[in-house]
């Protein structure tokens, strides 16, 4: 995945919290009124995005999108609303 194909999360109000050069990942956080603090990990080497948030009924969950399922438009939608429903992301309990 070309790192340049995806928008910078900080342009959408996310705070950069660190990176992992070996894993080619960047980490961000953002406080949403309706979701609380959401964590976002972007693995640009594999084209994977993970969000960790507190779901009102399911508790803390992780949502993933990767590979062909993660388009520029989907990534932008996730940056704007981390609970964006697409049917292409999968969930794991944290």
The pLDDT tens digits for 56-91 are 777 788 888 887 778 888 889 999 988 876 665 455
pTM for the model stands at 0.82
Q: Give the H or E element holding residue 18.
A: strand 15-20
Residue 19's Cβ-side half-sphere holds a number of Cα atoms within 13 Å equal to 9
- Determine the longest span between alpha carbons in the chain, in angstroms: 36
> In this predicted model, which residue has the larger pLDDT, 89 or 3?
3
At 22 the pLDDT is 79
At 29 the pLDDT is 97
At 18 the pLDDT is 96
């Amino acid at each position: 995945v070309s790192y340049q194909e995806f928008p910078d999360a900080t342009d959408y109000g996310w705070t950069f919290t660190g990176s992992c050069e070996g894993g080619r990942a960047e980490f961000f956080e953002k406080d949403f009124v309706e979701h609380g603090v959401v964590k976002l990990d972007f693995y640009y080497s594999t084209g994977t995005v993970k969000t960790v948030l507190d779901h009102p009924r399911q508790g803390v969950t992780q949502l993933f999108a990767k590979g062909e399922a993660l388009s520029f438009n989907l990534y932008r939608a996730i940056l704007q609303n981390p609970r964006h429903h697409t049917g292409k992301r999968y969930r794991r309990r944290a």
